[in-house]
């Protein structure tokens, strides 16, 4: 997810320009999910191919979503990726990124520094298959900046580090790098994977993560999540 600094004038302009884009994207995504529900494309939950921890069921996700605090997104003021330390060492020479690459890939071979030197990765977001690790980003299902605006701004740095390196919840997944970059810090009212068969898994994972970490949702985000979950 692209870094964003709230300390410079260009960044302030970026968020100002981003407001209009967010509104337009939310309208587009809501229309798309409504159309998908009508055509029945969301009727069947997909079988996940990456080994991200399995999110809660659609029924449980609907229960979780109903319990989340709904309020307007907070400010991005003060946000920095450095406030969410990652990728931390998990064991030996392996950091969180390398652990996820090994977990989500097939036939992954790592060198003595734990870097993935070969293997195959299927990107759930777009259906692409890659054989070079540098073509993959590790996506934070709930982006760091989104988490900041949803409650993480009040967390300790230690808690933000746990969130940014969470291997237990469905929060980290290896996906095509430019697809992850196009997602940026957008929520499901603004961005959803193009691979429709993964939508149910995606929103279940999003709700699971927000619920576990006690993060809020805004009204448009909740509506988009409900639209997809209703078809799961």
Q: Is residue 3 domain-resident?
A: no
**Cα–Cα distance for residue pair 84/73, rounded to 1 Å:** 19
Q: Is residue 4 domain-resident?
A: no
Q: Is residue 75 domain-resident?
A: yes
Report residue 94 as tokens: 């392996």
Cβ-based neighbour number of residue 11 at 10 Å: 16
pLDDT of residue 72: 97
Is the distance from CB of 201 to CB of 48 less than 8 angstroms? yes
Q: Is residue 128 domain-resident?
A: yes
Q: Is residue 135 domain-resident?
A: yes
Is the distance from CB of 193 to CB of 224 less than 8 angstroms? no
Query: Could you say which residues of the chain have pLDDT below 70?
Result: 1-50
Query: 104 lies in which domain range?
Result: 9-229
pLDDT of residue 205: 98
Q: Is residue 191 domain-resident?
A: yes
Beta bridge partners of 106: 120
Q: Is residue 152 domain-resident?
A: yes
pLDDT of residue 184: 97
pLDDT of residue 211: 98
Secondary structure element (H or E) that encloses residue 61, with its range = helix 58-67
**Cα–Cα distance for residue pair 142/186, rounded to 1 Å:** 9
Domain count, the chain: 1
pLDDT of residue 132: 97
Q: Is residue 1 domain-resident?
A: no
| CA distances, 223 to each of 30, 35, 78, 81 (Å) | 8, 14, 28, 28
pLDDT of residue 36: 43
């Amino acid at each position: 997810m692209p870094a964003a600094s709230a300390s410079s004038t260009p960044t302030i302009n970026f968020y100002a320009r981003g407001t209009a884009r967010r509104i337009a994207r939310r309208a587009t995504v809501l229309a798309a999910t409504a159309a998908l529900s009508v055509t029945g494309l969301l009727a069947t939950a997909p079988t996940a191919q990456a080994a991200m921890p399995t999110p809660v069921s659609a029924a449980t996700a609907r229960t979780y979503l109903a319990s989340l605090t709904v309020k307007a997104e907070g400010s991005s003021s003060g946000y920095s990726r450095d406030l969410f330390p990652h990728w931390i060492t998990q064991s030996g020479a392996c950091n969180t990124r390398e652990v996820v690459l090994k977990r989500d890939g097939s036939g992954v071979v790592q060198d003595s520094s734990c870097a993935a030197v070969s293997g195959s990765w299927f990107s759930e977001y777009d259906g692409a298959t890659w054989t070079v690790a540098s073509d993959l980003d590790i996506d934070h299902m709930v982006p760091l900046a989104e988490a900041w605006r949803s409650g993480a701004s009040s967390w300790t740095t230690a808690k933000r580090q746990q969130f940014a390196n969470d291997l237990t919840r469905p929060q980290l997944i290896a996906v095509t790098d430019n697809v992850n970059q196009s997602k940026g810090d957008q929520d499901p009212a603004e961005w959803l994977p193009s691979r429709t068969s993964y939508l149910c898994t995606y929103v279940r994972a999003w709700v699971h993560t927000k619920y576990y970490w006690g993060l809020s949702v805004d009204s448009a985000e909740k509506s988009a999540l409900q639209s997809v979950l209703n078809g799961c």
